[in-house]
Amino acid sequence: MGMLIKTLAAVAAGTVLAASALAQSAREIRGPSPYVAIENEPAPKLIVDPPIPDQLARGIVQIQYRVENVHIVPVFGKGALNASPRVGHLHIHVDDLPWWWADASNLNTIDLAGMPPGPHTIRIVLVDANHEPFPGQSKTVTFTIPQKVSGAHAH
C-alpha cells in the first residue's frame, strides 16, 4: 500500500511539473500589453481560414481569421497611425462588387447569409486606421453555395 501511495504521489508531482513547463504566459498567447509602446513592431499579419464547410451547406458563410502584431479596434483616422501597439481593422470585399465594409469588431469570424447559390469570392484586407492596406496582408477566399441549402437560412 505504501508503494502505491508513493507511486501515485510521484505521478501527481510529475503531472504538475509537466503542466507548468508547458504553460505559456499571457504575453505569449495574447501578445504585448496595449499599455506599453512597442519599439520596432514586427509587420502585421492576417491569417484566414477557409469557410466552415457544414455552414456552407446551410447557406451561411463563416470565415474565421486572426491577426498578429496589430489590434483590431474601431479607431480611425490619421492620428491613430502612430498608436503603439499598432491598430487597424478589416475591409471585406464580396464578389468584386464596387462596395466593401469595414469590420473593426475583432470577433474573429466574418459571417454572411443569404448569398445566392453558386461560386463566390471574399477578399479580406488588413488595413491601418487610415484605411490603407498593410503590405501583403490581403487574403482571398473562394467557395460555392450549394444549389439546395438546408436549415434555417435556406431560400
Q: What is the pLDDT of residues 29-82, one digit of tens each?
A: 777 777 877 788 899 999 999 999 999 988 999 999 999 999 999 999 998 988
Q: Specify the amino acid at residue 112.
A: L
87 by Cβ neighbours in 10 Å (0-12 / 13-18 / 19+) ranks as buried
Cell of 65: 481569421
- pLDDT for position 155: 45
Listed range (8-22, 74-88, 95-109) with the worst mean pLDDT = 8-22
SS3 for 20? Answer: helix
- pLDDT for position 142: 97
SS3 for 4? Answer: helix
Long-range contacts of 99-106 (CB under 8 A, 24+ apart): 102/127, 102/131, 103/72, 104/72, 104/73, 104/74, 104/75, 104/76, 105/72, 105/74, 106/71, 106/72, 106/73
Residue 141 half-sphere exposure, CB side, CA atoms within 13 Å?
Answer: 23
Residue 124 CA to residue 66 CA, distance in Å, equals 11
Q: With 50 as the cut, is the pLDDT of residue 3 above it?
A: yes
- pLDDT for position 152: 55
Q: H or E stretch including 19?
A: helix 2-22
Q: Percent of the chain scored above 70 by pLDDT? A: 84
| Residue of 115, 118, 122 lying closest to 138 (CA atoms) | 122
Give the global pTM: 0.75
- Report DSSP state, residue 152: T
Q: With 70 as the cut, is the pLDDT of residue 151 above it?
A: no
